[in-house]
């Protein structure tokens, strides 16, 4: 049933999924529902809702221009794997790093990676403020992605330090995206970024307002950012 809903939603949205991808998404859905009984992963479990609000929403940020072949991408505050895992299923060549501060969610993700046989996926247990200070992660990614983690002024400080100059920070945002973009203008500039594209998103069967924001990394992020854990949220730039 899930596969059917997903296939319909993808085709309404203009995305073609192969049989192999549909099977991988179906297994991911099964694992999500199974593990959700043991730990809090998501409030959304109905097949149609997961298909649209998790899978298609995650894929809504995909734009070939921003994802070169074998692009290195980092999903910051990935939770149960959104949007990183759907993008990896859609584009298996991507080199994906999943970052979250909650270790039990990473245990779930490790199981998904093994069960789906996903290659080139790394999980990192860290707060973004600490992860982005590690030499092997700082400014090493073509794309940093994030959904439902913080307002854009805070999120920019958590994500832009991971992005290499010339790469992109992609934020999946809800109804307040215009207000958030205005509020984050100074933070984005201080961190070396520039908002270059705002793509409104209409998900199949939903009328809510959402958009994907594309922020190009133009300059290296000053070494003072990100500030120590908790500070970006307490004192947004």
Can you give the binding site for ligand SAM, defined by CB under 6 A? 77-80, 82, 99-102, 105, 127-129, 147-149, 158
Least distance to ligand SAM, CB of residue 214, Å = 17
d(CA 214, CA 6): 26
* Closer residue to ligand SAM, CB minimum distance, 86 or 166: 86
Beta strands across the sheet bearing 121-125: 121-125, 95-100, 72-76, 141-147, 163-173, 210-217, 193-201
Q: Is 128 annotated as a binding residue?
A: yes
The continuous run of DSSP H or E covering 190 comes out as helix 185-190
Contact, 72 vs 141, CB < 8 A?
A: yes
d(CA 23, CA 127): 32
Q: Is 147 annotated as a binding residue?
A: yes
* Closer residue to ligand SAM, CB minimum distance, 24 or 98: 98
Q: Is 81 annotated as a binding residue?
A: no
Least distance to ligand SAM, CB of residue 19, Å = 26
d(CA 234, CA 237): 10
Least distance to ligand SAM, CB of residue 148, Å = 4
Residue nearest to ligand SAM (CB): 79
* Closer residue to ligand SAM, CB minimum distance, 82 or 214: 82
Contact, 233 vs 155, CB < 8 A?
A: no
Least distance to ligand SAM, CB of residue 172, Å = 7
Q: Which residues are annotated as a binding site for S-adenosyl-L-methionine?
A: 77, 82, 128-129, 147
Q: Which residues are annotated as a binding site?
A: 77, 82, 128-129, 147
């Amino acid at each position: 049933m899930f596969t059917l809903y997903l296939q319909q939603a993808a085709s309404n949205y203009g995305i073609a999924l192969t049989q192999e991808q549909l099977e991988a998404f179906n297994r991911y859905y099964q694992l999500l529902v199974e593990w959700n009984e043991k730990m809090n992963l998501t409030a959304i479990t109905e097949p149609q809702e997961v298909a649209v609000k998790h899978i298609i929403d995650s894929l809504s940020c995909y734009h070939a221009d921003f994802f070169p072949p074998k692009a290195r991408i980092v999903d910051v505050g990935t939770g149960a794997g959104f949007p990183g895992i759907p993008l990896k299923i859609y584009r298996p060549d991507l080199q994906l790093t999943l970052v979250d501060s909650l270790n039990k969610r990473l245990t779930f993700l490790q199981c998904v990676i093994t069960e789906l046989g996903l290659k080139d996926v790394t999980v990192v247990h860290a707060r973004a403020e600490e992860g982005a200070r590690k030499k092997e992660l700082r400014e090493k990614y073509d794309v940093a992605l994030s959904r439902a983690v913080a307002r854009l002024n805070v999120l920019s400080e958590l994500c832009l330090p991971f992005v290499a100059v010339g790469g992109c920070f992609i934020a999946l945002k809800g109804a307040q995206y215009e207000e958030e973009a205005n509020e984050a203008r100074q933070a984005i500039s201080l961190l070396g970024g520039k908002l270059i594209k705002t793509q409104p998103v209409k998900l199949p069967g939903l009328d809510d307002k959402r958009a994907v924001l594309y922020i190009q990394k133009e300059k290296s992020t000053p070494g003072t950012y990100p500030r120590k854990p908790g500070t970006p949220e307490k004192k947004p730039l």
